[in-house]
A and B are shown apart, each in its own frame.
Chain A
Amino acid sequence: MAHNFRTDLAIDWCPGCGDFGILTALTQALSESGTDPRNVVLASGIGCSGKTPHYVNVAGIHTLHGRAIPFAVGIKLANPNLKVLVTSGDGDMLGIGAGHFVAEGRRNVGLTVMIYDNQVYGLTKGQASPTMTLGMQTKSLSKPNIFGSINPITLALSAGYTFVARGFSFDTKQLKDIIKRAMVHEGSSVIDILQPCPTYNNVNTMEVFRKKVYKLEDDKDWDPVITNSNEEQLMEKYQQAYKKGMEWDDRIPTGIFFENRTVPSFPKRISEHSKSYLENPPALQVVSDEHGKSIVDPMKTFADRIV
């Protein structure tokens, strides 16, 4: 029988929340990807978005606010055979967790990072998140937002992510396809997901986004993929990705902005100097014989300390 990727838990997001569409796209992507559900782990932070793992029938860990990435990195590096996806809020990932977000760009461990971008802190009742634009005022704010906004696309590019995309929670087909492709990508990917929050964000609603979004892939010439480390190609793909990434006010591009297949993943980098790492990563190693005897020879391992 086919694995049911949904748990039977009652979902407690507000009616009309964009999170539902993300959940649908995610479970469909998992199901269509053909991955053994036991080899998938979902890690989330805290927020409305953070609840996602409980609704998905794969191993899941609902971690701390902002810390989904380091948990996920630990899981992935201890067992690189696992597919590890991160479902996070915009406050979670780009506010409190921004340091980890940037660090992961440098590592390129191989995570699929999904950012539920609703421009508010949903679960704490609608404060401005780091993606809310300067001067914007939602009904939950007593005054217009006096912070500038972070651009998740260009930040991800600058941080070094090797796969950068945007989806829209009300286009589950496109989002599902992006997630599937991100899961196949060897390095770490970021998917910024426009996620209307009907409860707190009355400015960027589903209707507003619907009018503004367009698909990069609709342009037949759009090709975000880098397949060899040719400087010129790299420069060109970066430039077009940044340019598209800067579009926001009237028209918002969705789809894949950038996909660089030439940067070695972190597990590969580890295996460069630790030859057995990919074959025998930490999680698959046996550390003692059946009697509990350690298999380490400490005097030989630390022979340099003998005098």
Chain B
Amino acid sequence: MSKIDISIVIGGPQGGGIDTSSNMITRAFSYSGFPVISVREFHSNIKGRHSYVHLRVKDEKPKSFRYPVDVLVALDPDTIFEHFEDIGKGSKIIYDTEFETSDLSQARMIMRDTAQRIKNELESKKQPLNIKGVLNLMKENGGIPIGIPFSKVVTSVVSEGPATRYFNTLGASVTLSILGVDKDSTKSAIKDIFGNKEKVIEPNLKVVDSSYDYCETNGFKIRDLGKMPAKKVMLLTGNDGAAIGKIIGGLRFQTYYPITPASDESTILEEHDSIKWLEEESQNLKRGGVTVIQTEDEISAITMACGAALTGTRSSTATSGPGFSLMAEGISFAGMDEIPVVITMYQRGGPSTGLPTRNQQSDLLFALNTGHGEFPRIVMSSGDVEECIYDSIKALNYAQRYQLPVIHLIDKTLANTTEVVDSIDPDLVPIIGRVSPEKGSEIKRYSLNTENGISAMGTFGNNIFWMTGDEHDELGHVTEDSMMRDRQMEKRFRKIETARKEIPVSEMAQIIGDEKADITLVTWGSQKSLVIDILDDLSREGIRAKLLYLRMFQPFPSEFVSEVLKKSRKVISIESNMTSQAATVIRTNTGIEIKNNIVKYNGRHMTEDELLSAVKKIIEGKSEREVLRNGA
């Protein structure tokens, strides 16, 4: 068991600098040798509404999140109100003493329904409808409020500018000081975050000093954390991972229309569009950069990416549910015309605009069926940041190898989770090209002379050939001949069988944990790491279980999954949606129905505590279906 295991929530108004605070906390722990994982939760709002970062620190790489928190850092009164349920025995609540006079009725940025729930809770516990009331509730649950005069701590050392400017540094510094992170690490974090902006660094360092002094004087420090050997690592989100993988994998053309949580990937690509090369390997090669185009809509995004792909360029687009809906016709075209294109699909809460900034895994069945007509596609999913990197390379490879649309699913939680990645090794996934005809030759783009369904793909600029969304003959001209139709349909579908044979099963599904265990937890996407933690928790209580982790849904590893499930006594699916979509895919492909389901659809990331108790309830036979509801 991990010696260090600290959970933190730092919250404040959207646009109020909590990202800087969480960045400071993450870096300071990293410099002391303790890895951090963090995830960002926020409203669809630019300024004012409650947003927070949920962090966890362990002496080994943390994989999941947990409530109650050890420290709640409130940079505004709303944070205290919003997180009234996230406090347990010994939780520290760090807040500005000025908040103490805040009334719930003044917290206008709290959603009305949330405010009503808080009100009900306070009234039922006979508490006043203000911060004091909530703090009393928290104390009843074992919480320890630590009021700090934020302004005083700042103005005692910094006089220029408004004191509020430094509250995020203060919040992070107090947290770090209480948790026993040495001051040097905290100061290094400040220096690295603000780079060479001396004018900014200096006052912030002073605030670090005065925050540490304040905690010291008042005896807030819990312990000395000490230092572990720290090495250079990368701090990456899922969005970062996808962008990095794409660049390694040879992506040179990306299109997008802005949408949360997908467009961060494209802006990251824009920021890194001038690629740094491995000199030895590339000095004699034509090399350039990535061209990233913001389009007029997602219809344009997918069709433009297709157009670029036809010149031989590795191209892709990134979007989320509403944009993906608009792409349906273009994806169908890519299937029909055998265009290698990758669609990185960031799932968020639907239907419609839904919960635009919140997590969900409700587009799996849609991804499998997007677009009219029947055509082969690959649908794959990533579960952690490293997978985002390597899967993005693979997605580009699959698109080229099988000449079809590849839909790569990443969920919002993963997109916005920051993980420690030790290093990136591009050699893990070599680049696989497409079958190309000779340059300049006349080609039968859709030649039927192919056993595996793959025909040589000419490119515009090199070959003359035709393409049409209509059914076509080998040259790519329109045909309605009944026999040619059958043969082209069959050719296209042979590719998916080829893919099924060529792609190792381990790329499609994996068993993690005790293989012989007869309890099987089934999950996909961002719950992967969380469920691995749950396996440990269960084994500590003497319960043997394993994880069946799904990574590819088309082609689907039916035989493997079927074997695993047949040998299991109890199977529980765990998904962030309402209708257990992966379980549906399993049933469609194997005929096996998973009767026990854990679901969550409130848009917040699943946490260890809620999942563990749900899993145990089901294992004990007390329930068949559990709905998880954690999260502010």
A2 within 8 A of B: no
In A277-304, the 8 Å CB interface with B consists of 277, 279-289, 291-303
B542 within 8 A of A: no
B252 pairs with A103, CB closer than 8 A:
no
Chain A: CB-nearest residue to B429? A294
Q: Do A285 and B287 contact each other (CB < 8 Å), given the known contacts A37-B464, A74-B253, A305-B235?
A: yes
Residues of A within 8 A of B440 (CB): 38
Interface size classification for chain B: 35 or more
B469 within 8 A of A: yes
Chain A: CB-nearest residue to B192? A307
Chain A: CB-nearest residue to B272? A301
A89–B113 alpha-carbon span in the complex (Å) = 51
Question: A163 to nearest B CB, angstroms?
Answer: 20
Question: A162 to nearest B CB, angstroms?
Answer: 18
A136 within 8 A of B: no
Residues of B within 8 A of A76 (CB): 307
B430 pairs with A292, CB closer than 8 A:
yes
A67 within 8 A of B: yes
Residues of B within 8 A of A145 (CB): none
Question: B251 to nearest A CB, angstroms?
Answer: 8
Residues of A within 8 A of B17 (CB): none
Chain B: CB-nearest residue to A291? B430
- Of the 9-residue stretches B276-284, B356-364, B612-620, which lies at the interface with chain A? B276-284
B287 pairs with A295, CB closer than 8 A:
yes
B176 within 8 A of A: no
- Of the 9-residue stretches A14-22, A57-65, A214-222, A224-232, which lies at the interface with chain B? A57-65
B431 within 8 A of A: yes
Q: Do A99 and B426 contact each other (CB < 8 Å), given the known contacts A78-B307, A282-B315?
A: no
Annotate A152-185 by CB proximity to B: 1 below 8 A, 0 otherwise: 0000000000000000000000000000000000
- Of the 9-residue stretches B126-134, B139-147, B290-298, which lies at the interface with chain A? B290-298
Residues of A within 8 A of B333 (CB): 63-64
Question: B459 to nearest A CB, angstroms?
Answer: 7
Question: B264 to nearest A CB, angstroms?
Answer: 13
A280 pairs with B310, CB closer than 8 A:
no
Question: A106 to nearest B CB, angstroms?
Answer: 9
Show 23 A/B contacts (Cβ-Cβ < 8 Å), sorted by A: A38-B464, A39-B461, A53-B466, A54-B466, A57-B464, A59-B464, A61-B466, A61-B467, A62-B466, A69-B300, A74-B315, A78-B315, A100-B296, A274-B289, A276-B287, A282-B253, A287-B250, A289-B285, A294-B249, A296-B277, A301-B275, A301-B276, A302-B272
17 additional contacts (CB under 8 A) given A70-B299, A296-B278, A299-B234:
A38-B461, A38-B463, A38-B464, A51-B478, A54-B466, A61-B467, A74-B305, A82-B311, A103-B295, A277-B288, A277-B291, A285-B313, A288-B430, A296-B275, A296-B277, A298-B244, A299-B423
The 6 closest A-B pairs by CB, nearest first: A74-B307, A287-B250, A295-B282, A280-B288, A300-B276, A103-B296
